[in-house]
Structure 1
Amino acid sequence: MSHPRIRRSRRAAFVALSAAALALTGCSVTAPGGTDSPSAPGASGAPAGEASTVRIMTHDSFTLPPELLERFERESGYRLVTTAPGDSGTVVNQILLAKDAPTVDGVYGVEDHSAHRLVREGAVAEHTPENLPASAAELMVDGRMTPVDQGQVCFTTDPAWFQAHGVPAPTSIDQLDEPPYAELTVVTSPLTSSPGMSLLAATTQKYGQDGWQGWWRGLLENGGKVGAGWSDAYEVDFSGGQGRGAFPIVLSYVSSPAFAPQTTVIEDSCTPQVEYAGVLEGAQNPEGARAFVDFLLTEEVQAALPEAMYMYPVDETIPLPQEWAEHAPLVADPITPDPARVDEQRENLLKEWTALSEEVQG
C-alpha cells in the first residue's frame, strides 16, 4: 500500500500533513512534556520506572493527527516509536527477515494479499481486540491480523480529456486491453506496488487462470504503461492528476473522486483492499503492541482515517465525510478475489507476470 492508498492524491496530501505531523521513519511520539523517558503508567498497566516503549513498523503512508498519537501515549502509558521502511511489500519482507528476532513489537499497513503470509510464516501472535467492530469480524485473519481500514483499487478516468479529444470514455475494464484505451492507460507493477498486486489479483479472479494473461498481454502490446508506484502514476502520468500527464486512465482508488470530483471511477474494475495490524511473535513489548492495535479501532481513529490516511474505516458505523459519501462511496459489487488463495499463488503469479512483461516489452 502504499495506497493509493485512496487518496486526495495520497502522496500530495501526505506531504502537506507531514509538515505539521511527525517524521515517519524512526519517529517517536511522546506524551506532553516532550521527554523520551518512560511515560507514566496508564490503562495498559505499563510499569512505572521501567522501559515502556512500544515499537511499530508501518508503511510509508502512515500518518494520524499528532493529538491522537499523543492521546494513545497518555492513556496507555506507552511511548510510541514508529519506523516506516517503505510500502506494504517492504514492510512484510522486513518482518519476515527478522521473524526470529523481531526489531519491533507490532506492524500496521499490511494489505490483505500479504496478511495471510505473515500468519502462515508464524510471524504474528494471536490477538483479537475486544473492541473489534462487528463489520470487521469477518475480515480477521486467523485471530492474528486485525483489519484497520479498507478501500478499493479501481481504474479512474479523466472525463474532461475524453470530451476534449472527442473519444468516448471507457466504462469497463474489459475495454482497457484494447485500442484506443490501452495506450491511454497507466497501471503500476504488482512487483513494486500494492495497487498493482490488487489489479493482478482482480484480473486472475475476473478472467480466470487461463484468461488473465490475455488481458495483460493486450494492455501491454497495445501501448499501456506500467509504472513502479502509485504516486508517479497518479501525480505525474495521469491527465487528471497534479502533473497533468498524458494518460487519462490510471490505476488508483475508489476514493480519488472525493478529492478530485472531476474524475470518475470505472466501477466494474474495483477490487477490495484491506490494511491490517498485528502483534509480532517474540515481541519485547507484546502488551504495548496489543494496546496500539486496539487503539487503531477506537472511534476517534476510525473517524480520522478518511482525512488522515485516505482510507475508509472498517467500522461501518462511523459516518464518512460528506465529500466521500457524495463522490466516493464504496462500489457495491467489486471483483473479490480470495486473499488467501492469491497469497498462496503469489510467487507463481508474479513469475508469470514478469515473464509476460519481459516478453512483450523486450
Structure 2
Amino acid sequence: MGTTRKITLAAVAAALGVSTLAACGSGGSGGSSASGDGAKSKDVTLVSHDSFAASPAVLKEFTKETGYTVHVIKSGDAGEAVNKAVLTKGSPQGDVFFGVDNTLLSRALDNGLFTPYKAKGLDQVEPAAQLDKDKNRVTPIDTGDLCVNYDKKYFADRKLAPPASFDDLIKPQYKNLLVTENVATSSPGLGFLLGTVARYGDDGWQDYWKKLTANGVRVVDSWEQAYNEDFSGSAGGKKAKADRPLVVSYASSPPAEVVYAEPRPAQAPTGVATGTCFRQIEFAGLLDGAKNEAGGKALIDFMISKEFQADMPLNMFVDPVVRGVKLPDVFTEFGASVDKPWTVTPDRIAAGREQWIQSWTSLVVK
C-alpha cells in the first residue's frame, strides 16, 4: 500500500495501473461539477499514491451503482502523498484520500486531514485493522506485510542460504547485498525501520542500524527505484542490470512477479525473509473540504464492498480487510505466509516516529 501498501509490483504493473485509471477517469467533461446553483457533482476524485490500481470494470460498476465517475490523482510514494495532502489541508485536490498507512496515520490525523465518516459495511471489516474505530476519521481498506525479498537465483548460484531475519542481515555473508528505502520519503522504508524498532527496542535499534550501515546497506528514495532498478530479482531489475539481491518490499511481491511474467514460471523468482516483516494497514478518508462529500462517502463505502476488496489483490497485491473475501490462488501458491509480523502500536508510532526518523537520518544518510 501503500503501502501498504502501497504498492508491490514490477514496473509493468505500475504502468498498467496508470493506463487503466486514466481511461476510467477520462470522462471529466461529461459530468457536471459542483456549482453555486447546488447542482450535484457526478465526479468524485480519489487522491492516492502511485501504486493505486483498480480494474476498469469495477470502477464502472461503481459508476453504474452510484452515478459517480471516479477520477484518480496520483501523488508519488505514500509518504510524499501524505505530505502533499497536509500542505493542501482545507483545499484538497480531491474528495477521498487513499493510501495513508499505520506508519503515517497519526501525521494525517494530527493535521486534521479528514472529516469523520462511519462507512457502510464497516462491521464486516476485521477489528484488528480498525485503528481509528472510535472516531471513524479513516476506514481500513487493505493490509500487507513489508519484508525483505531475495533473488532466489543469486543465492542458489552461490550455494548461500538467503537471510531469514533482521539478525541475518548484519552478517558478513550479506555485506553489500541489501537495498532499502529512505524512511523520510518512503512508507516501505519507514515500515522497515519500525520493524527494527519492534525487534530491538528503543535502546537497540540504533546500534542495529550502525551495524547494517557498516554491512553496506544501500538507501534510495523510493520503493520504485529500490525494487525496479536496484533489485536483481525483479523483472525491472533484470533489465536494469541491478546489483542488489536483497530489497525491502512486500510479502506479496513474489506473486506479482509470477502474474506479470511472460511466460508464467512454475515458481516465483523471488522469496521472502519472513522474520523481517512489518504489518502495514492502509486507510481511506473523506478529505476535509471535499467538494463532493456525498460522492466521497459513496466511494469509501464501495472500497470496503466485497466486489472492490476481491479486485484489490491482483491489482495492488494487498490483502483484503473484509471478512469472507478469498485471496486468489496465485497468492496462496506463491505468496509468503507471515504468521507473526512485527508490529508497533499507533500510539507508540505517534510518539516516536519523528524522533526515530531524525535519528535514523543522522545515522544512515551521509
TM-score of the superposition, structure 1-length normalised?
0.88
| In 2, Cα distance between equivalents of 1:159 and 1:87 | 27
1:247 corresponds to which of 238, 244, 247: 244
Cross-structure match for 1:117: 107
Match of 1:37, as an amino acid?
G
Question: Any idea what the Cα deviations from partners look like across 1:94-113, whole Å, max 9, x if unmatched?
Answer: 22222233342221111111
1:334 aligns with 2:341: yes
Question: Any idea what the Cα deviations from partners look like across 1:92-150, whole Å, max 9, x if unmatched?
Answer: 11222222333422211111112222222222111121212534333222311101111
2:254 corresponds to which of 244, 257, 263: 257
| In 1, Cα distance between equivalents of 2:343 and 2:147 | 12
Cross-structure match for 1:146: 139
CA contact (8 A) 1:157 1:264 kept: yes
Question: Any idea what the Cα deviations from partners look like across 1:331-355, whole Å, max 9, x if unmatched?
Answer: 0100011133213322111110111
Question: Any idea what the Cα deviations from partners look like across 1:278-297, whole Å, max 9, x if unmatched?
Answer: 01223222111111111111
| In 2, Cα distance between equivalents of 1:343 and 1:323 | 36
Residue 265 of structure 1 and its aligned partner are, at CA, apart by: 0.9
1:150 alignment partner, SS class: strand
Q: Equivalent residues in 2 for 1:207-246 (5 A)?
A: 207-242=200-235, 243-244=237-238, 245-246=242-243
Cross-structure match for 2:193: 200
1:86 alignment partner, SS class: coil
CA contact (8 A) 2:41 2:292 kept: no
CA contact (8 A) 2:8 2:51 kept: no
CA contact (8 A) 2:48 2:81 kept: yes
CA RMSD of aligned residues (A): 2.3
Cross-structure match for 1:162: 155
Match of 1:190, as an amino acid?
V
Match of 2:64, as an amino acid?
R
Match of 2:183, as an amino acid?
P
Match of 1:214, as an amino acid?
D
Identify if the C-alpha distance between structure 1 residues 159 and 82 changes in structure 2 by more than 3 Å, giving closer, same or farther: closer
1:278 aligns with 2:285: yes
Cross-structure match for 2:21: 22
Identify if the C-alpha distance between structure 1 residues 295 and 135 changes in structure 2 by more than 3 Å, giving closer, same or farther: closer
CA contact (8 A) 1:155 1:253 kept: yes
Task: Give aligned pairs, total.
Answer: 345
| In 2, Cα distance between equivalents of 1:6 and 1:89 | 12
Match of 1:7, as an amino acid?
T
1:22 alignment partner, SS class: helix
CA contact (8 A) 1:145 1:278 kept: yes
2:326 corresponds to which of 319, 322, 343: 319
Residue 216 of structure 1 and its aligned partner are, at CA, apart by: 1.1
In percent, how many aligned pairs have the same letter?
Answer: 34
CA contact (8 A) 2:165 2:275 kept: yes
Residue 38 of structure 1 and its aligned partner are, at CA, apart by: 3.2
1:127 aligns with 2:134: no
Residue 48 of structure 1 and its aligned partner are, at CA, apart by: 9.7
Question: Any idea what the Cα deviations from partners look like across 1:267-324, whole Å, max 9, x if unmatched?
Answer: 1111111111001223222111111111111111111101111111112411111110
1:190 alignment partner, SS class: coil
Cross-structure match for 1:189: 182
Cross-structure match for 1:36: 30
Residue 224 of structure 1 and its aligned partner are, at CA, apart by: 1.3
2:22 alignment partner, SS class: coil
Cross-structure match for 1:81: 71
CA contact (8 A) 1:29 1:73 kept: no
Identify if the C-alpha distance between structure 1 residues 101 and 13 changes in structure 2 by more than 3 Å, giving closer, same or farther: closer
1:183 alignment partner, SS class: coil
CA contact (8 A) 1:6 1:254 kept: no
Cross-structure match for 1:43: none
Give unpaired runs (5+ residues) of structure 1.
40-46
| In 1, Cα distance between equivalents of 2:77 and 2:313 | 19
| In 1, Cα distance between equivalents of 2:342 and 2:40 | 49
| In 1, Cα distance between equivalents of 2:202 and 2:60 | 48
Match of 1:64, as an amino acid?
A
| In 2, Cα distance between equivalents of 1:344 and 1:187 | 24
| In 1, Cα distance between equivalents of 2:102 and 2:290 | 22
Match of 2:113, as an amino acid?
A
1:81 alignment partner, SS class: strand
Give unpaired runs (5+ residues) of structure 2.
258-267
CA contact (8 A) 1:29 1:80 kept: no
Match of 1:72, as an amino acid?
F
Cross-structure match for 1:105: 95
| In 2, Cα distance between equivalents of 1:29 and 1:303 | 24
